[in-house]
Structure 1
Amino acid sequence: MESWRVRTDRLGLLLDQFDCAREMAQVRLTGLGDEEYLWEPVPGCWSIRRRGEAVTPRAFGPGDWVLDQGAPEIPASEYAEVARQAAGGMTVTKIADDWGVSVERVRQVLEHSGPPEPDTTPVTTIAWRLGHLHSCFAGQWEWTFGERRQEPKLLVDFTPCAASAVERFWALTDRWRADVAAVTDEQLDTIGYSQYPYGSDPDDPFITVLCGANLEFIHHMAEIALLRDLWRSRFTPRG
């Protein structure tokens, strides 16, 4: 009997990690209904909303529903990354452009000493988390394997229907995974192989971009899983 082979090459490890995370996420998203999908567990949540009803200044989307987005900021969890970018030779102006903040704000981050204060970020709904992930993967696919010309924020038509959102998301991630699987070792090491404009993709080797995409997928799906647990606990009668 042929034994099961585990890939240990760089791309194989990243693909296996993605596949494992996707399998777990697909199980956790099974049975997601519209009410749970849009549930706001606390006041002031970010979510998807009808155009004109968004509660944030930079909500975006091409259709009737938009994804909440606030003003640009460098979160405390990214202070170390900004320091690494500066130490690696990236200019303060370039860092500011990448993050969409002022040069003065970047300087404040670089001059910060001691542990950063925890971020005061809004709680987000399952609809927001899934929509955010969908937008990221759609943008990175377009600016890596696509025509590299469409505005990332206009690629995803957000929907209040949970089943449709999940189905569209898996179709997109399957396309992403198929094209990533065909990448060569040379392309993995190519700086700027992805030209996704929101972030440092144009300045990074593609293998770094893939690591970041996997991390984004895993941590947001973990948050969605927790929201599902809270929903079940909140609405399941205790005996």
Structure 2
Amino acid sequence: MTTLSQNLLDLSDFAWQRLRQRVEGLTDDEYLWEPFDGCWTVRKTDDRYVADGSRIPPAPAPFTTLAWRITHIVDVLQAERTATWFGHTATDDKPGVPGSAAAALEALDHAYEIWRRRLAALSQQDLDRPMGEIAGPYAENDGTSFALHILDELIHHGAEVGTVRDFYQGLRAEDPFPAALSGELTPADRPALLAEAAAAQRWDIVRQLADLGFDVNARTAGGITAAHLAAGTGALDTLRFLVGCGADLSVTDTQYDADVRGWAEFFRQAEVVAYLGSQGTKAR
């Protein structure tokens, strides 16, 4: 039987992995993008960056940039209270407000490492015990309720980050496939393009890109290969083609740790499962 502590840790890791994949490739322009007047963001003051804020936030709340949102997630995860409210001691260094996309990703990784270590160290007693005076108005709440609160912060702010990225990228949408098919975009320029075509279910483009030398085993930013996607959607002809091009059916994706047959079985693609069985694959 899975313990409460392990369930909390598993949920945290799942939410973190989803967020971390959503911010992969973040640029400085995107990080500091202000789509409206009056946005809250991070601003350079003297030799450091500071996040906009107010002890009493204005109503309605201002739109917050990716810089502000990511900084907030960092602050939530590494705050002293994620140790002290559980009765533990906070001894970790906390870096300053990140002023660039690269610094933000580094700060996110650091903050999550702190939070995960603290969460993993909690005993059942820590989770069951009322937090006491240190938690102020939440003194009677137990550790589990506080752990769930931090996970809610990670999940809902992570979803906001993903949504803002979608807005930014949607306004600058590009179709890279014509450039690839004309030879202007090469496998060296965009190694994962064939996997991206599979994610868009552009199966005709997948075949053409493979013929042009794009890697059939490349992964999307989410860690998924074209073979996984073909198997999961039931695109059997494309999967056969990919196998003929050397697709590795044993590779596992980074989100569910499942191989290609595992995807076919999960999405109930019976014909694909039968075909993969004929190839001698076993699901993982």
TM-score normalized with structure 2 length = 0.54
**How far apart, CA to CA, are the structure 1 residues paired with 2:138 and 2:24?**
32
Q: % of aligned pairs identical?
A: 28
**How far apart, CA to CA, are the structure 1 residues paired with 2:89 and 2:111?**
13
**Contact 2:44–2:99 (CA under 8 A) maintained in structure 1:** no
**Contact 1:138–1:156 (CA under 8 A) maintained in structure 2:** no
Give 4+ residue runs of structure 1 displaced > 4 Å after superposition. 200-203
Residue 65 of structure 2: aligned partner: 125
Q: 3-state SS of the aligned residue for 2:50?
A: strand
Residue 166 (structure 2) pairs with residue 226 (structure 1): no
Residue 185 of structure 2: aligned partner: none
**How far apart, CA to CA, are the structure 1 residues paired with 2:75 and 2:29?**
22
Alignment of structure 1 residues 44-83 onto 2, 5 Å: 44-51=38-45, 64-72=48-56
Residue 40 of structure 1: aligned partner: 34
**Contact 1:137–1:172 (CA under 8 A) maintained in structure 2:** yes
Residue 164 of structure 1: aligned partner: 103
Residue 196 of structure 2: aligned partner: none
Q: 3-state SS of the aligned residue for 1:224?
A: helix
How far 1:147 moved relative to its partner?
A: 4.2
Match for residue 180 of structure 1 among 101, 104, 119: 119
Residue 3 of structure 2: aligned partner: 9
**Contact 1:187–1:193 (CA under 8 A) maintained in structure 2:** no
Work out which of the two has the higher radius of gyration on C-alpha atoms and give 1 or 2: 2
**Contact 1:134–1:156 (CA under 8 A) maintained in structure 2:** no
> Is there any run of 5+ residues in structure 2 with no aligned partner, and where?
179-284
Q: Which has the higher contact order (CA 8 A, sep 6+)?
A: 1
How far 1:236 moved relative to its partner?
A: 2.1
Residue 137 (structure 2) pairs with residue 143 (structure 1): no
How far 1:14 moved relative to its partner?
A: 1.2
**How far apart, CA to CA, are the structure 1 residues paired with 2:52 and 2:42?**
6
Q: Deviations over 1:66-124 (max 9, x none)?
A: 11112426x9xxxxxxxxxxxxxxxxxxxxxxxxxxxxxxxxxxxxxxxxxxx621110
Residue 144 of structure 2: aligned partner: 207
TM-score normalized with structure 1 length = 0.64
**How far apart, CA to CA, are the structure 2 residues paired with 1:196 and 1:42?**
36
Does the C-alpha gap of structure 1 residues 36 and 194 become closer, same or farther in structure 2, counting only changes over 3 Å? farther
Does the C-alpha gap of structure 1 residues 181 and 158 become closer, same or farther in structure 2, counting only changes over 3 Å? same
Residue 15 of structure 2: aligned partner: 21
Does the C-alpha gap of structure 1 residues 167 and 26 become closer, same or farther in structure 2, counting only changes over 3 Å? same
**How far apart, CA to CA, are the structure 1 residues paired with 2:5 and 2:154?**
17
Q: 3-state SS of the aligned residue for 1:177?
A: helix
> Is there any run of 5+ residues in structure 1 with no aligned partner, and where?
1-6, 53-62, 76-118
**How far apart, CA to CA, are the structure 2 residues paired with 1:196 and 1:163?**
34
